[in-house]
Amino acid sequence: MEVKPEVEKKSKGWEPRILAFLCRWCSYAGADLTGSSRISYPPNVRILRVPCSGRVNPIFILKTLRAGMDGVLVSGCHPGDCHYTAGNYTARRKFAVLSRLLEYVGIDPRRVQFSWVSASEGEKFAKVVSEVVAEVKALGPNELFRLNTSDHTAEGAESREP
Amino acid sequence: MPEKIEKELIGIVSRLFAEGRIHHFLGYGKGTVKFKTTPLIAGNREDLQELWLEDFCAPNLTLYLKDIKGQVGLLVKGCDSRSLVSLIKEGQVRREDLYIVGLPCPGQIDPGKVAGAVGCEREELEEITRRGPEMVVRVNGQEKTLPKSLALMDKCLNCPYPKPLIFDSLLPGEYVAPVPRATPTEDELRRRPVPEKWAFWAEQFRRCLRCYACRNVCPACFCPRCIVEENMPQWVSPLATMGDNFVFHLLRLMHVAGTCTSCGECQRVCPMGIPLMKLNEKMTDDLRELFGYVAGVDLDKPFPFRTYRQEDPDDFIK
């Protein structure tokens, strides 16, 4: 999972970049339906297909933020519809704790969002993406890790990333 | 500590060695540094002479169980017994391999806090002794008294489990919280706006050296190979930059969620004084609020991330 956002400053032309983890059985198919139904949605999401929302390890989300993506969306099947019976239920528990912890350390919860989108909800997918993009746009670029470097590393070490 | 306890302990352990019930006994030994004890792994009766039961028995000895083979006897304080419950549930140790001796804990002294309270450097402290409800501190030949609450570790002030939850025998003594339980102090950071929270934590993460002392001392961090040391793929850069430290600390929290019993060892050993307990406590409070889960108190309740309920909160999901 390499995320290479270009350095963009908050300017007029800035557009948020959002990484979306979509479950292979529901949300990915839902996104497909959005396209085949000719429903338009903001092109700011980069979609990454995962087998199940339960596959999304919290480290994926942390690393995505660290790499400088402006937002993260994780989407899976509605509760009860998981292809693997309970993947989304256990994912829901992890995400509930993670999103509260992220809020506590100062990552705006609007940057890391979760949704349930089924394979038949093409319209809902477009709506969710539009909402997430609008909210992240209002927050501005993710510059959390650009502003501070460490005391303990040689100067310029931070510039190796991204 | 009174001789009576020491005699009792040596009696119990000698009997266990004689009966062949244990191969090793894990206790505290006198440290080489002032105000510190070191874990003592006794392999026979003679080694017990090195046992130390005075103050400064802060280290959580359950950490060392993974390194000792065979039947082990060990000393636990009330708080440490919760780590044992977690480790038994995780399958890291077997209950039948353990002989657990409960230690009455009068609250552990935090020398850094004492130094702050009397206004001197930690190195200048000569002696800290208990006298009734107070602490007597000797600095540069002068004695000063402090109330207990300014000398004990923060976690001891709200000690919820002064008596071990599981044990085979208890040493004589009082199993009561060192300071009568007041209402828990609220972390006022939780009420501040998000950008202020980031300002606080960015500064903390910036200072982290990534020495991994917090991870190494944690009884809940028992993976033989830690994900932060994986390099194919490399999930977290080993450089101590603020951003990578953020990933490391959040990841550490997620990994110990459900096993962390707020024993406070991570914060105690942090050379940079990063308030890791604030993070741990936030996480344990969340687990209690969201799923009614309290780590290390119940051997039968499944870990929160290994189970689910249909009615789990999902108001944060679109």
In whole angstroms, what separates CA A54 from the centre of its chain? 15
Of B181 and B226, more confident: B226
Which residues touch A151 (CB under 8 Å, ≥6 apart)?
B206, B207
Q: Which two tokens stand for residue B47?
A: 């080694």
Residues of A whose CB is below 8 A from B307: 90
Does the pLDDT value for residue A93 go beyond 90? yes
- Does B133 reach chain A within 8 Å, measured CB to CB? no
ipTM: 0.90
CATH architecture of the domain covering B111-151? Roll (3.10)
- The pLDDT assigned to A161 comes to 44
Q: Which of B176, B120, B179, B184 is nearest to B150 (CA)?
A: B179
pLDDT digits (tens, 9 = 90+) for B51-80: 888 788 899 999 999 989 999 999 999 999
> What is the sign, positive or negative, of the torsion defined by CA atoms of A60, A66, A69, A73?
positive
User: Chain B 269-308, CB below 8 Å of chain A: which residues?
Assistant: 279, 282-283, 286-287, 290-291, 304-308
Residues of B whose CB is below 8 A from A90: 305-308
pTM listed for this prediction:
0.90
Q: Which two tokens stand for residue B250?
A: 């959040």
Does the pLDDT value for residue A12 go beyond 80? no
pLDDT confidence tier of residue B158, bands split at 50, 70 and 90: confident
* Residue with tokens 């609250």, as numbered in its chain: B107
Q: Which candidate from A80, A93, A152 shows the least CB-CB separation from B305?
A: A93
Least confident of A72-76, B32-36, B201-205, B213-217: B32-36
pLDDT confidence tier of residue A147, bands split at 50, 70 and 90: low
- Mean per-residue pLDDT over chain B, rounded: 91
User: For chain A, what is the radius of gyration of the CA atoms?
Assistant: 16
Segment B176-193 shows an average pLDDT of 81
Residues of B whose CB is below 8 A from A58: 250-251, 254
Does the pLDDT value for residue B190 go beyond 90? yes
- The pLDDT assigned to A8 comes to 47
Residues of A whose CB is below 8 A from B244: 66
Strands annotated E in B10-96: 24-30, 37-42, 72-76
- The pLDDT assigned to A154 comes to 43
- The pLDDT assigned to B184 comes to 67
Q: In what order do the strands lie in the sheet with B125-131?
A: B125-131, B134-139, B142-147
Question: What residue spans define the domains of chain B?
Answer: 3-102, 111-151, 186-312
Interface test with B, best of A45, A66, A112 (most B CBs within 10 A): A66
Contact A145 B194 (CB under 8 A): no
- Give the Cα-Cα-Cα angle A138, A114, A93 (nearest 5 degrees): 135
Contact A59 B247 (CB under 8 A): yes
Residue of chain B with shortest Cα separation from A106: B198
Of B139 and A11, more confident: B139
Does the pLDDT value for residue A159 go beyond 60? no
Segment A112-141 shows an average pLDDT of 95
Using CA atoms, how far residue A159 sits from A59, A62, A71, in Å, is 22, 19, 21
Which of A16-25, B56-65, B149-158 is the most confident on average?
A: A16-25
Residues of B whose CB is below 8 A from A76: none
pLDDT digits (tens, 9 = 90+) for B124-144: 888 888 888 888 999 988 898
Contact B318 A101 (CB under 8 A): no
pLDDT digits (tens, 9 = 90+) for B282-303: 999 999 999 999 999 999 999 9
> How many CB atoms neighbour CB A127 within 10 A?
17
Strands annotated E in chain B: 24-30, 37-42, 72-76, 98-102, 125-131, 134-139, 142-147, 169-170
Segment B141-154 shows an average pLDDT of 88
Question: How many Å apart are CA A18 and CA B242, to the nearest integer?
Answer: 22
Segment B109-131 shows an average pLDDT of 88
How are beta strands B98-102 and B169-170 bridged, if at all? parallel
Beta bridge partners of B40: B27
- The pLDDT assigned to B2 comes to 66
- Does B257 reach chain A within 8 Å, measured CB to CB? yes
Residues of B whose CB is below 8 A from A109: 316
Domains, chain A, with CATH or none: 18-144 (3.40.50)
